[in-house]
Amino acid sequence: MISIIIPVYNEKNNLEKLLPHLSNLAVGHEVEIIVSKGVCAVDYLPIVNSVPNAKQVAEPKKGRAVQMNAGAAAAKGAILAFLHADVWPPQGFFDDILKTLSSGYDAGFFSYRFDKDSFFLNINASFTKKDGIFTGGGDQCLFIKKSIFNGLGGFDEEQVLMEDFEFFRRMKAKRVRYKIVANDLIVSARKYENNSYLRINLTNLLLVVLFKMGYPPHKLKNVHDRLLRIPYRKQRA
């Protein structure tokens, strides 16, 4: 079984589209969908209950790492896949996961492209097709054998911003075999609608450099929040 874990915070509109899409892709596969709800006023149960093999877990503590760990703890599958609510999986999504993990790999990621056609965004997306400084970001949908995930101790819940990169760093330190699947996810470009391309890329580079230098997690979050405008995170769905 593959357990898809979706951490959500005010993502009602995206979830209404994503869950039926996942359900359609899952035909012929043993899949469960776990919506891991953060500290928000939205109740996703009506959406979750409308889709077969989906369930909601609620995490009273803040943080995406906390939500993803809660989803993993509730998962029945031997394979975990961590998917953001604004990321659209492609055809062959589940086949790609199974093929990768049956070919000697313990984990993997997907390449992606944005839902907006832009020369500069296409440049960004091209870097997701191979290993590099930004490999391991949450938009690439980490999938991993549950035994390996548990052996690594899950996501570090002290990481309030860079939990995906921190986990990937431990993966590499333990020599976990992984592959980047060249079958593009579709990632929302909504962040770029409120910030310039240059501003986002310089901020991302700064955050990665500071993270690699050991900058404390909460200070990284403060830098992020000062430099970028992410209004949809403050809206109630």
- Domain layout of the chain by residue ranges: 2-191
Please, which pLDDT band fits residue 230 given cuts at 50, 70 and 90? Answer: low
Question: Helices in the chain by DSSP H: which ranges?
Answer: 12-25, 45-48, 64-74, 93-101, 119-126, 146-151, 163-173, 190-193, 197-212, 217-227
pLDDT in the model for residue 212:
82
Please give the Cα distance from 81 to 64 (Å, whole number).
14
Please give the Cα distance from 155 to 59 (Å, whole number).
15
Please, which pLDDT band fits residue 237 given cuts at 50, 70 and 90? Answer: very low
pLDDT in the model for residue 74:
96
Convert the pLDDT of each residue in 132-168 to its tens digit.
Answer: 877 888 899 999 999 999 999 999 998 888 899 999 9
Please give the Cα distance from 15 to 85 (Å, whole number).
6
Q: Which residues are CB-contacts of 105 (< 8 A; sequence separation ≥ 6)?
A: 177, 178, 179
At residue 186, what are phi and psi to the nearest 5 degrees?
Answer: -105, 115
What's the whole-number average pLDDT of the chain?
90
At residue 118, what are phi and psi to the nearest 5 degrees?
Answer: -150, 135
Q: What is the CATH code for 2-191?
A: 3.90.550.10
Contacts 24+ apart (CB under 8 A), 161-164: 161/207, 161/217, 161/220, 161/221, 161/224, 162/207, 162/208, 162/211, 162/217, 162/220, 163/63, 163/64, 163/65, 163/68, 163/138, 164/136, 164/137, 164/138
Global confidence as pTM: 0.90
pLDDT in the model for residue 236:
33
Tokens read off for 85: 């609510």
pLDDT in the model for residue 231:
54
